[in-house]
Structure 1
């Protein structure tokens, strides 16, 4: 699963501003644009990780692993940040098996407490994979017998197990409040990086530091068209 990428879009008026500033050194224009956009993209990945981490109780490393960046290059005229990923296993949300045998507790959302998933249990597969599971059964359940735990039942008589998952990280990123904040921060970053890239090129010519007072550069989201 993935959400439409965040494309970096520099407004035409800002392109003209870059051209005016670098008049006489036209070869520097694509360098400035590429440097500014690519640095911004790296920052957007960080901002996206932080914003998603404010909503869900996941490690930032797990969130960051779902976010990829495609930067501008000589043979690449498109730049974007994209979040891809399947539903996250419940095990990743600090799963704890209850001693009473009544299920597993997990903390999924930062603003909420731990929730109990009844009849679930934690198991480790022969492959080494550990997860939160429950058994396929839709009929009435009997009271748990402490004297005869389910683990003592011969395997051939046990019901098949299914691993439990929560939402996908791209769905969290795509929520309107989260996406709006990511876009706001991206716009600020893009303006700063254009200023920095321009100043860097001008410093090579031993020019004075350029101070820009133009409005923040525009950003927008567009579908990739897959």
Structure 2
């Protein structure tokens, strides 16, 4: 959780007391910037921890930021939603449908690939390519291997810790910047 301390709020209120709504505008801008930092840094940390590209993280999930007025203050929220991502979007070999090739996959960056004995890579009629396994000896039905969702990856302790540190740094830097901006007549 990222916080703006009481001392920081009092300082903003004291300096911007002569400007109507100046303190709230400054705090809102700081929170908006912190939300943007959380959004970007989460994707950066996920791609550093998991064997998946930023493009696939963004495509597989919905990351929303919001700033709203609350009981006498302003609150910023970042929400992550989405479905489980196909394992094929992570570190999988082979990448194209090849017959009789051993399929290997890794979800975490830095871990070796694990072989899947009965798995195969296929492109379905819908155009979706994935890593599948037959449930029986017959051709169908098949089951696709799935991995974590964007929200689950964002909830990883290492990812959360790094994102929180970066967002708190942003808050601490941006408070001074927003005070100066409003005192100079920008946004105030």
TM norm structure 2:
0.83
**For residues 134 and 124 of structure 1, what CA distance do their matches in structure 2 show?**
13
- Counterparts of 1:78-93 in structure 2 under 5 Å? 78-93=75-90
Q: What are structure 1's unaligned runs of at least 5 residues?
A: 1-5, 142-156, 206-226
Aligned residue number for residue 143 of structure 2: 162
**How far is the alpha carbon of 1:118 from its aligned partner?**
1.4
8 Å Cα contact 2:17/2:23 also seen in 1: no
CA contact (8 A) 1:52 1:173 kept: yes
RMSD, aligned CA: 2.6
2:12 counterpart of 1:31: no
Q: Which residue of 2 aligns with 1:68?
A: 63
Displacement of 1:159 in angstroms is 3.7
Structure 1 residue 49 corresponds to structure 2 residue 43: yes
Contact 2:27 2:74 in 1 (8 A): no
Please say if 1:103 is aligned against 2:102.
yes
State the Cα distance separating 1:100 from its structure 2 match.
Answer: 7.2
Distance 1:168 1:69, change over 3 A: closer
2:7 match: 13
CA contact (8 A) 2:49 2:108 kept: yes
| CA displacement at 1:178 relative to structure 2 | 2.1
Deviations 1:86-142 (A, max 9, x none): 2220110243349672531223221112222111111111111111111003xxx8x
2:16 maps to what in 1?
A: 22
Whether the aligned pair in 1 keeps the contact of 2:133 and 2:145 (CA below 8 Å) is yes
Which has more strand, going by share of residues? Answer: 2
Gaps of 5+ in 2: none
1:27 positional shift: 2.0
Q: 2:39 and 2:62 mapped to 1: Cα distance?
A: 7
Larger radius of gyration: 1
1:56-106 alpha-carbon deviations (Å, 9 max, x no partner) = 111112223425232325799542112222222011024334967253122
Match of 1:122 in 2: 121
**TM-score (norm. length: structure 1):** 0.70
C-alpha distance in structure 1 between counterparts of 2:157 and 2:69, whole Å: 34
Structure showing the higher helix proportion among its residues: 2
Range with greater deviation from structure 2 (37-46 or 56-65): 56-65
Distance across 2 between alignment mates of 1:11 and 1:121 = 54
How many residue pairs get aligned? The number is 181
1:58 is matched with which residue?
52
Contact 1:69 1:81 in 2 (8 A): yes
Q: How far 1:11 moved relative to its partner?
A: 2.6
